[in-house]
Structure 1
Amino acid sequence: MALDERFELLSHVVEIATSSVDADERLNSILVAVNNYYQARCMALFVQHKGGTPFVLAHAWPNSLLDERNLPSFTLDEGLMGKVALSRQVVQEKVTPDTDDRALKSIAEIARTAVLLPVVDDRKLYGVAALILNESTWLDDDDLRVLLMIAREMAGTMRNYDLYLEAKKRIAELNVLSDMGRYAVSTIELNELLDTVASICAKLLGAEGGLVRIQTKNHEQKELTAQYGNVPDEYVTGPIPTDICSPQPVFPGLIRTRGTDDSERKGILCVPLTFKRGHKGHLLVFEKKVREQGELQRGFTLEDQKTINTMGVMISSALENALTMHSIETLAQRNEEMVQFLGTIFEISTVLMNTMDFDETVQIILHALIHPAGFDHDHVILFLVDDLSGVLRTVAEMQKSHFISPVKELRDTLYEVQGSIFDDHLEPSPEVIDLKLPLDPQKSILAKTVLEEKPILVDNPAKDPQVNPLLKKVLGEHAFVSVPMFAKGKAVGVLVVSNSLSGRNFVERDVKFLSMLAQLGGLSVETSRLYQSLEKANKELAYMRNRLLEADKLAALGEIAAGVAHEIRNPLVSIGGFTRRIRKKVGDDSQITPYLDVIIEEVTRLESTLNEMLDFSNEARDHFSEFDLNQIMDEALELLERELSDQGIEIQKKYGKDLPMILCDDRQVKHVFFNIFLNAVQAMANQGGFLTIRSFAVMREGKQFVAGEVTDNGGGIPMDVIHNIFNPFFTTKPNGSGLGLSIVHKIVNRHFGHVEVHNSEGEGASFLVTLPAAEEGRAYLK
């Protein structure tokens, strides 16, 4: 079954599971979808409604399997389905007469293939699903994994339904509590509720002051307090005396706090607030003095005690609800922030996974830290560890003030960054561009970050002696966070992050989020650097391999050239010598003198060519000196001046000015261009055309080279032979030797250069010869 088909099935099941219809209808729809997809006989779901009870057939397709008068069921110790429920592992077996499973036999015929799936999540087994296939069908492991995922979705649907019922029940309970709360107070917003409780209790009891104090469970947050009217300061901040408030509500009596007149009697009434969730609290009212019909009352009464006790019970419920809501809101806010952060991290990691380029990786990390939809910081500096020198060196810097492009979505921005060249705004500022910090924690806060393997918040950089002066100058007096970057347990670098523009303070959450990004960034940076190293090593190995292969070919060519040169040289010397003697005897007036001069001229040219072939075969570099490439190409062109004129070929020269000199054997380089010019002339024979000769300077891998380019419009080289043109003795010409371009290739390699061909079949070809400038050539010779 194709992967796309399985994916479509899973997608359809997830769509059903997340729909808004009733849970039973969703489960039935899933059974129908799976049954139809696998063209099965039927599919059934057995559900255990409570722990310890049998698993009963609850859903099936086709519906005819559901007979409410006699629903099949099984227990954990019964048959294959019980085995699946116990082991929580998928089972695929043929149904045979010996199959000991009455529930399975009730839905499956003999010889059918049964696939039994545990419907389970991480914590609970909800049931067992049975897919009954045709006799000839047997699912592979991939299909079983798909079915397990579908069973997980079914478990999620059932779990969500259980959660829905539980939530519905809880909502009903909260409604009751809310009704009780509204009887005593008018709001469930925690701070407002606390103020309302303090004021209402004091007013209802005729007290001059009211106080509510709550300490949350495990001190999850600071103590919550609310007061109304006149409350002694020692009760607001200090511990509540045990003699006025015991675990059970009691009437503490009257406490004289100041004054001697009976009319100034004052008392305190206290009741503990009882919570189910481990919170602790107290409700206190202060200083009741009542005059009725001119008579002085003694303050709080037993009726007041009963009233406050009842209030305490009602208020505890209302406050606990409010505390729960407050905790939920706080948790929801944290979860929302976490979800947003994880989404941001996912977007960043998705983009980082699509690149292995070091510069792109650095740009993505810094843009993510600055982008308003990312981490939204103001200033970032990236330092990387230099293992060789044992220092932290500045690699890149970015400030929000330089973020001048229109603000787009984070992912769009990062993808644009990925395909762009290194951003000038990421160049470190002059103050820190050459900054190198030793990995000594006594001298550098960044080194301390690396060695202690934890982020450090520097609140006042100006007064911290461990902050480098140049770093202080760049960051100013604003606080910054130094976050270490690690990859596979090894320190990679440090991110220095500041909010110098907004002035926003760093909180614990910011530091945690930065640490998570630093871990992701550290791994990405190290991976990109490793990839670059491997890529460079592979290129060098490929280059050396090609050089060795070419060396082997050309060594053989050199031996042949040397042998041929020696064999031709002896008779050629004789021809030249005897011809010169004849020329001397006949003088200038003989009719054969012109012919003798031609013979002598051609013999001289052949002798020169043979000498060059011998030099070529001997790999000699004794004649290297500095020459002008433009002059060498002109001299090679002069040798073909007659052929160019006869063929009607027009020369177009586009020489670069003030080109660096090249270190070379000028005779051999002239031979290179002579061969290339000759091939171009032969390609344009009898049709004329343009021969364009261009020279220019070029950089290769950070080194200076000078290039000569020869372009013709002679129809180009056939694509099926172009890969052989530099091979010795390969030719497409009837009278060609196949050595011309081989000699070109060997001479260029001997000069540490490169020769390339750019072909446009049907239009023409361009040969590019690149030779190192004189200074680089001397370095190669060494």
Structure 2
Amino acid sequence: LYPLNSPVSVVITDQRLTIEYVNTGFEKATGYLFDEVHGKNLSILVIDTEHRDMIKRAVEHSLLGQSWQGQVKYQTKDGVTRVLDVVTSAIFNSGDQVTNFVAVSRDITYELELQSQLVNAQKLKALGRLSASIAHDFGNPLIGIRALLKDFDQRLELNQQDTHLLEIAVSECNRMQTLIGNFQHFYNSKRTFSTPCDINEVLNRLVFFMQKTLLTNNITTVIDHTPNLPPTKGRVDQLEQVFLNIILNAVDAMADQGGTLTIATYSEKDSICAAISDTGQGMDEQTMRQIFEPFYSTKPEVDGTGLGLSVSYGIISAHNGTITCRSTVSEGTTFKVFLPVEAHTV
């Protein structure tokens, strides 16, 4: 990631958006040298139709003698998608004809990610306070209701239909108890005892547990673990919940057509990373922006509460780690979980 004082990029094109000049700031930001882009159209850097349309609007404003400012996604030489804050204007000759366009921009990817992390942290803090209240105010009465329902089932002579209705009521109580338990992860995750964890071992155990589900859904599993990774420190049961949730989401994404689930681990600086990829239906940008929000779910209401990934985000944050997601519609999704190496092993 570039620091906040990333160099300003300057690009000058002709009236057809053919690149005539770039400064060193552009070269550092994109990875392209001047000779590699000279004579090429500016659109080679823009990744999709939406942002190409934004370039068209910028040109339209510039032709009217107005400057245009906006955020545009671009792709670096090594294929990384980043975001620029761009200001464009036109250069006119003495006959009021456009000879060139000038774009001055600054990479704001890092700032946007920091803002996103701050917003998520604030949401988690608020939800943590709420969870304590819900667990107390709803949890205890729910236990009593469930006990009464079971008592009725045992003491009363009920017909088959009434017995079935009682079973549904107990099942719904259990579902509510699970929901409350998910809430409590926000409240208790930082108060639990941590031990050294072998991420490869945690993931291998989950894959073994999930074998039947994966085979039933015609999903091939590819394991690409880096051996002898240093341990991280954390709650094994909570990390298992995070990885299980990601794997179950991958299964759902590939349920209709099958596919490949790839689980890789590797070291990166003072962290270890677990990358879980699927070849499922993928997600659009709108969904990507909301996946870690509490109660947001793409599943039918009866299938999910929308807390899975937000709980996962809270757990990984409590472990001083990060969780990221990249997805392309019709191609698949990759979740990466970064966890710090246990201090004395660094």
Rounded to whole Å, the distance in 2 between the matches of 1:567 and 1:635 is 36
**CA shift in 2, pair 1:642/1:608, >3 Å:** farther
1:683 paired with 2:253, answer yes
What SS does the corresponding residue of 1:730 show, helix, strand or coil? coil
Rounded to whole Å, the distance in 2 between the matches of 1:642 and 1:598 is 27
Question: Taking CA–CA contacts closer than 8 Å with sequence separation of 6 or more, which of the two structures ends up with the larger relative contact order?
Answer: 2
Rounded to whole Å, the distance in 2 between the matches of 1:356 and 1:636 is 45
Q: Which residue of 1 aligns with 2:297?
A: 731
1:658 paired with 2:228, answer yes
Q: Which residue of 2 aligns with 1:171?
A: none
1:633 paired with 2:199, answer no
Query: Where do 1:248-327 residues align within 5 Å?
Result: none
CA contact (8 A) 1:621 1:665 kept: no
How far apart are 1:638 and its partner, in Å?
5.5
What SS does the corresponding residue of 1:733 show, helix, strand or coil? coil
CA contact (8 A) 1:669 1:747 kept: yes
1:769 paired with 2:337, answer yes
1:556 paired with 2:134, answer no
CA contact (8 A) 2:182 2:311 kept: no
Q: Which residue of 1 aligns with 2:314?
A: 746
What SS does the corresponding residue of 1:660 show, helix, strand or coil? coil
Paired residue type of 1:646: T
Paired residue type of 1:767: F
What SS does the corresponding residue of 1:620 show, helix, strand or coil? helix
Q: Which residue of 1 aligns with 2:282?
A: 716
Rounded to whole Å, the distance in 2 between the matches of 1:665 and 1:600 is 30
How far apart are 1:707 and its partner, in Å?
0.8
What SS does the corresponding residue of 2:202 show, helix, strand or coil? helix
Paired residue type of 2:293: N
Rounded to whole Å, the distance in 2 between the matches of 1:568 and 1:645 is 39
CA contact (8 A) 2:124 2:186 kept: no
Rounded to whole Å, the distance in 2 between the matches of 1:685 and 1:557 is 31
What SS does the corresponding residue of 1:687 show, helix, strand or coil? coil
How far apart are 1:652 and its partner, in Å?
2.1
CA contact (8 A) 1:639 1:674 kept: no
**CA shift in 2, pair 1:565/1:759, >3 Å:** same
Q: Which residue of 1 aligns with 2:263?
A: 693
**CA shift in 2, pair 1:692/1:568, >3 Å:** farther
Aligned length: 240
CA contact (8 A) 1:748 1:771 kept: yes
Paired residue type of 1:773: V
CA contact (8 A) 2:231 2:342 kept: yes
Rounded to whole Å, the distance in 1 between the matches of 2:204 and 2:171 is 22
CA contact (8 A) 2:218 2:259 kept: yes
Paired residue type of 1:711: S
How far apart are 1:720 and its partner, in Å?
3.8
Rounded to whole Å, the distance in 2 between the matches of 1:600 and 1:641 is 30
1:614 paired with 2:284, answer no
**CA shift in 2, pair 1:575/1:641, >3 Å:** farther
Rounded to whole Å, the distance in 2 between the matches of 1:571 and 1:620 is 26
CA contact (8 A) 2:196 2:234 kept: yes
Rg larger for: 1
Rounded to whole Å, the distance in 1 between the matches of 2:226 and 2:171 is 35
How far apart are 1:742 and its partner, in Å?
1.7
Paired residue type of 2:320: F
Unaligned runs of 5+ in 2: 1-12, 16-21, 29-76, 78-106, 156-165
CA contact (8 A) 1:647 1:688 kept: yes
1:756 paired with 2:324, answer yes
**CA shift in 2, pair 1:612/1:4, >3 Å:** closer
Unaligned runs of 5+ in 1: 6-350, 359-418, 420-534, 586-595
Rounded to whole Å, the distance in 1 between the matches of 2:230 and 2:335 is 20
What SS does the corresponding residue of 2:261 show, helix, strand or coil? strand
Q: Which residue of 2 aligns with 1:573?
A: 143
CA offset digits 1:367-392 (Å, max 9, x no partner): xxxxxxxxxxxxxxxxxxxxxxxxxx
CA contact (8 A) 2:179 2:305 kept: no
Q: Which residue of 1 aligns with 2:217?
A: 647
CA contact (8 A) 2:324 2:337 kept: yes
Rounded to whole Å, the distance in 1 between the matches of 2:251 and 2:340 is 27
How far apart are 1:678 and its partner, in Å?
1.4
Rounded to whole Å, the distance in 1 between the matches of 2:261 and 2:216 is 14
**CA shift in 2, pair 1:4/1:623, >3 Å:** closer
How far apart are 1:728 and its partner, in Å?
2.4
**CA shift in 2, pair 1:626/1:695, >3 Å:** same
What SS does the corresponding residue of 1:651 show, helix, strand or coil? strand
Paired residue type of 2:284: P
How far apart are 1:547 and its partner, in Å?
3.6
CA contact (8 A) 1:636 1:671 kept: no
Query: Where do 1:421-500 residues align within 5 Å?
Result: none
Q: Which residue of 2 aligns with 1:354?
A: 24
**CA shift in 2, pair 1:692/1:354, >3 Å:** closer
Rounded to whole Å, the distance in 2 between the matches of 1:607 and 1:728 is 17
Q: Which residue of 2 aligns with 1:135?
A: none
**CA shift in 2, pair 1:541/1:650, >3 Å:** closer
TM-score normalised according to structure 2 size = 0.56
Paired residue type of 2:197: F
**CA shift in 2, pair 1:692/1:553, >3 Å:** same
Q: Which residue of 2 aligns with 1:447?
A: none
Rounded to whole Å, the distance in 2 between the matches of 1:720 and 1:661 is 35
Rounded to whole Å, the distance in 2 between the matches of 1:641 and 1:600 is 30
CA contact (8 A) 1:629 1:661 kept: yes
What SS does the corresponding residue of 2:228 show, helix, strand or coil? coil
CA contact (8 A) 2:131 2:187 kept: yes
Rounded to whole Å, the distance in 1 between the matches of 2:113 and 2:245 is 25
CA contact (8 A) 1:624 1:664 kept: yes
CA contact (8 A) 1:680 1:714 kept: yes
CA contact (8 A) 2:139 2:180 kept: yes
**CA shift in 2, pair 1:623/1:652, >3 Å:** same
Query: Where do 1:55-204 residues align within 5 Å?
Result: none
**CA shift in 2, pair 1:689/1:356, >3 Å:** closer
CA offset digits 1:149-201 (Å, max 9, x no partner): xxxxxxxxxxxxxxxxxxxxxxxxxxxxxxxxxxxxxxxxxxxxxxxxxxxxx
Q: Which residue of 1 aligns with 2:59?
A: none
Rounded to whole Å, the distance in 1 between the matches of 2:206 and 2:295 is 23
1:705 paired with 2:271, answer yes
CA offset digits 1:536-585 (Å, max 9, x no partner): xx998776644432221112333444444445522442356467879999
What SS does the corresponding residue of 2:305 show, helix, strand or coil? coil
Rounded to whole Å, the distance in 1 between the matches of 2:189 and 2:152 is 37
Q: Which residue of 2 aligns with 1:667?
A: 237
Rounded to whole Å, the distance in 2 between the matches of 1:727 and 1:540 is 20
Rounded to whole Å, the distance in 1 between the matches of 2:123 and 2:208 is 31
Paired residue type of 1:730: Y
TM-score normalised according to structure 1 size = 0.27
What SS does the corresponding residue of 1:734 show, helix, strand or coil? coil
**CA shift in 2, pair 1:678/1:559, >3 Å:** farther
